[in-house]
Structure 1
């Protein structure tokens, strides 16, 4: 089984009943990959058309049409803007979702937002969304921390990655070796940071082996 597939399964299997808002069975995000309805498709097209218009035109459309979308269509619109890497429109829909009466703070919802922003190197906006998740007391499991941190490292955001790593270490969930290995691989281009995480790993998992790439090898 490939590493990404293993990580995906690890994320999906996992939260205990102490974290109900992030339980896969309760997640508002489970239906986001369903086919988008005609209303949702129209909204995506019109928002993109209005994106470079005067701001009041786009805001008027959001109030009159986007805010009236059904839950499934609104989530599908958000997922589509994430897929397109349209950061500004994605953040607008993100804010709308969080105001809906059916909205619940959700690990999967925030994971996708954070990784999309990381992939687009939007460090400031990423940390704002992270603060939103903290205010809403969203719990992230160890595999999800590992995925987000690796995404940050792969997109040259090591400072932000180490903020998430510090939060990961403070998590009430027991540490797992696999997320640490994912992070250590992503830290190959950052030897000083990698050494610190390696020390933590060896303290948490004594006797486990860590592969150290040859000196000068920075391609992860």
Structure 2
């Protein structure tokens, strides 16, 4: 029995060798998280809710039937909250559905929360321009000018947004609309910054609106250092 116990003990030792307390323990390295501020910003209007998706699908299924489209606009679309309506508008623009997008844009303008936003107009102009809907751009700008006249608060003081709108109008070849926008800014006492001045001058010259470009350049010289020593803006 004693011999058998010794053999069994030896087998245990072989199977489960004792660990030495002097063995070096693994070194723990600290884990450092990478920077979190380099993530891209969320894009407004690209997160679609279920309600927005259903409204978009209903509008697309309606095809070109104006009666059905108007019924959807006055029904499901009218019940969308602001963020969902703007998201649906951006998605239709992304899918190059400009006529449906224009319907949603006009519906948004009737909402109580609506405030004129030059960035929204710029996106709408770009969507229409991609689909060669020139006359619709003219109507949109005309409505915009009429909407802004006589109001205490206008969007012309949003210089960055106005620059986006002017850039989209220039890309669409709408020199007359750009001149109307600049006239509105002057009537409402809004002064562009240097970037917008240069954008207007170069864009108008490129479209052949030389007289208008010269007028803007004169205003730029008055604005820039009181008109003293201002160089001509290069084309």
Q: Same fold (TM over 0.5)?
A: yes
| Higher Cα Rg, which structure | 2
Alignment of 1:47-66 (within 5 A): 47-53=59-65, 55-66=66-77
Q: How far does residue 164 in structure 1 lie from its aligned partner after superposition?
A: 0.6
Tell me the equivalent position of 1:98.
109
In structure 2, the gaps of 5 or more residues are 1-41
CA RMSD of aligned residues (A): 2.8
Q: How far does residue 109 in structure 1 lie from its aligned partner after superposition?
A: 4.0
Q: Is the 8 A contact 1:31 1:72 kept in 2?
A: no
Q: In 2 relative to 1, CA 147–95 (structure 1 residues): closer, same or farther, beyond 3 Å?
A: closer
Q: In 2 relative to 1, CA 65–197 (structure 1 residues): closer, same or farther, beyond 3 Å?
A: same
Tell me the equivalent position of 2:172.
155
TM-score normalized with structure 1 length = 0.68
Note the alpha carbon deviations across 1:111-149, whole angstroms, 9 max, x for none: 544554566432123312342344664332233333322
Alignment of 1:11-90 (within 5 A): 32-53=44-65, 55-90=66-101
Q: How far does residue 91 in structure 1 lie from its aligned partner after superposition?
A: 2.5
Q: In 2 relative to 1, CA 174–62 (structure 1 residues): closer, same or farther, beyond 3 Å?
A: closer
Q: Distance in 2 between matches of 1:174 and 1:125?
A: 23
Tell me the equivalent position of 1:212.
234
